[in-house]
A and B are shown apart, each in its own frame.
Chain A
């Protein structure tokens, strides 16, 4: 065996290995107010969220904003106990996500929402559609109990 070629091989192998490792690995920086959902190369999604600086090998990290989010819902038309429509009901819902539960929610729904906030910042979060659906349903549920004497609520005056 020609050992004189070994130093040259070593000279090429080490940078190539480093280049390969760097190609399949990366790092993620998850800022305060966000959590990271780790998607493994195998397809699994980690149940535990990551925060801060995270080195990944063959994995990817989805950053999800968990700060207070305001969702406007305009033009709702719930009906009361007598079937009377309430026109153009506008509400604003403020909520925040519990960081520890975000990966599990993502696994359950695979819902990922991106929007641009008032300052023009692109934000990724989860659960906006779920929130909108449930709020609409809740408003209808609460409104239909209004004006119903049998429910023991305020007597209807109109």
Chain B
């Protein structure tokens, strides 16, 4: 109720104006001409204030969850797109090489292992063990 009032104060004022003018005309036809009604201030009860604050916190949490769900959905879409791309590439490779999908995947894995092994070999650091070096002449 209070959040409704705060968000639509103008509507509340207009509703009071219409209601009051109707009642005035019913009791005293044509005597009063209402010009405007301004709601300047109102205080909701403390219980309602607490409730409003709690709802505001829940809304923030709900927004955060919505954003996380959106992120997950987009990540899933990206993974799907990648899978489609790889499947199409495999299909094209099968057609071009006349190999089966299993053979192509095995070959691809073998290439990946080879690349990995080479990278490890190149990055290995050799340490000189001074204690076991032959005595210098």
Stretch at the interface among B15-23, B87-95, B107-115: B15-23
Pick from A84, A87, A94, A97: contact of B31, CB under 8 Å: A97
Task: Mark out the residues of chain A between 59 and 111 whose CB falls within 8 Å of any chain B CB in the assembled complex.
Answer: 68, 80-82, 84-98, 101-102, 104-105, 108
User: Cα distance A154–B40 when bound, in Å?
Assistant: 22
Q: A90: which of B15, B16, B41, B48 is its contact (CB, 8 Å)?
A: B41
Complex Cα distance, B30 from A86, in Å, reads 32
The distance in angstroms between the C-alpha atoms of A19 and B48, with both chains bound, is 73
A80 touching B32 in the complex, CB below 8 Å, given contacts A87-B45, A135-B16, A137-B23: no
Does B2 lie within 8 Å of A86, measured CB to CB? yes
Contact-size category for B: 35 or more
Which one of B28, B35, B37, B55 lies within 8 Å of A157 (CB-CB)?
B55
Bits for A137-158, please: 1 = Cβ < 8 Å to B, else 0: 1110110001100000010111
Min CB–CB distance B101 → chain A (angstroms) = 56
Is B27 interfacial (CB-CB < 8 Å)? yes
Q: Contact partner of B42 among A86, A93, A138, A142, CB < 8 A?
A: A86
Which A-chain residue is minimally distant from B33 (CB atoms)? A96
**Residue in B16, B28, B29, B55 whose CB lies within 8 Å of A91:** B16
**A98 surroundings in chain B (CB, below 8 A):** 30-33
State in angstroms the CA–CA spacing of A95 and B41 once bound together: 20
In the complex, B117 has a CB within 8 A of chain A: no
B3 contacts across to A, CB distance below 8 A? 157-158
Main secondary structure of the interface of A (DSSP, over half): mixed
CB distance from B40 to the nearest CB of A (A): 5
> How many Å lie between the Cα of A88 and that of B32 in the bound state?
26
Q: Which of B40-79 contact A (CB under 8 A)?
A: 40-45, 48, 51-52, 55
A128 vs B55: C-alpha distance in the bound complex, in angstroms?
A: 41
B8 contacts A by Cβ under 8 Å: yes
Contact assessment for B31 and A89 in the assembled complex, using a CB-CB cutoff below 8 Å: no
A146 to B44, CA, bound (A): 14
- Neighbouring B residues of A127 by C-beta, 8 Å: 28, 31-32
Least Cβ–Cβ distance between B55 and chain A, in angstroms: 7
Determine how close the nearest CB of chain A comes to the CB of B126; give it in whole angstroms. 71
10 cross-chain pairs, A with B, having the tightest CB-CB distances, nearest first: A138-B20, A147-B1, A138-B19, A94-B35, A80-B1, A90-B41, A87-B43, A89-B42, A101-B31, A88-B43
Residues of B near any A CB (own CB < 8 A): 1-5, 8, 12, 15-16, 19-20, 23-24, 27-45, 48, 51-52, 55
Q: A residues within 8 Å of B by Cβ? A: 68, 80-82, 84-98, 101-102, 104-105, 108, 127, 130-131, 134-135, 137-139, 141-142, 146-147, 154, 156-158
